[in-house]
Chains A and B, each alone.
Chain A
Amino acid sequence: IAGITQAPTSQILAAGRRMTLRCTQDMRHNAMYWYRQDLGLGLRLIHYSNTAGTTGKGEVPDGYSVSRANTDDFPLTLASAVPSQTSVYFCASSDQGSGGYTFGSGTRLTVV
Chain B
Amino acid sequence: GENVEQHPSTLSVQEGDSAVIKCTYSDSASNYFPWYKQELGKRPQLIIDIRSNVGEKKDQRIAVTLNKTAKHFSLHITETQPEDSAVYFCAAEANDYKLSFGAGTTVTVRA
Are B103 and A103 interface neighbours, CB within 8 A?
no
Chain A residues numbered 50-89 whose CB sits less than 8 Å from any CB in chain B: 50, 58-59
Task: Tell me which residues across on chain A come within 8 A of B1, comparing CB atoms.
Answer: 59
Known: A41-B103, A42-B102, A42-B104. A101 touches B97 (CB 8 A): no
Chain A, interface size: which category?
20 to 34
Known: A59-B1, A100-B34. A94 touches B103 (CB 8 A): no
Are B97 and A103 interface neighbours, CB within 8 A?
no
CB distance from B90 to the nearest CB of A (A): 9
CA A65 to CA B44, docked complex, whole Å: 23
Known: A99-B49, A100-B34. A43 touches B44 (CB 8 A): yes
CB distance from B59 to the nearest CB of A (A): 14
Chain B, interface size: which category?
20 to 34
Task: Tell me which residues across on chain B come within 8 A of A103, comparing CB atoms.
Answer: 43-45
CA A80 to CA B87, docked complex, whole Å: 32
Task: Tell me which residues across on chain B come within 8 A of A105, comparing CB atoms.
Answer: 42-43
CA A62 to CA B99, docked complex, whole Å: 19
User: Taking CB as reference atom, which chain B residue is nearest A39?
Assistant: B104
Task: Tell me which residues across on chain B come within 8 A of A106, comparing CB atoms.
Answer: 43
CB distance from B6 to the nearest CB of A (A): 8
Query: What would be 18 A-B contacts, judged by CB atoms less than 8 Å apart?
Result: A31-B97, A35-B101, A42-B6, A42-B101, A43-B44, A43-B89, A44-B101, A45-B99, A45-B100, A59-B100, A90-B43, A99-B34, A99-B49, A100-B32, A100-B46, A101-B46, A103-B44, A105-B42
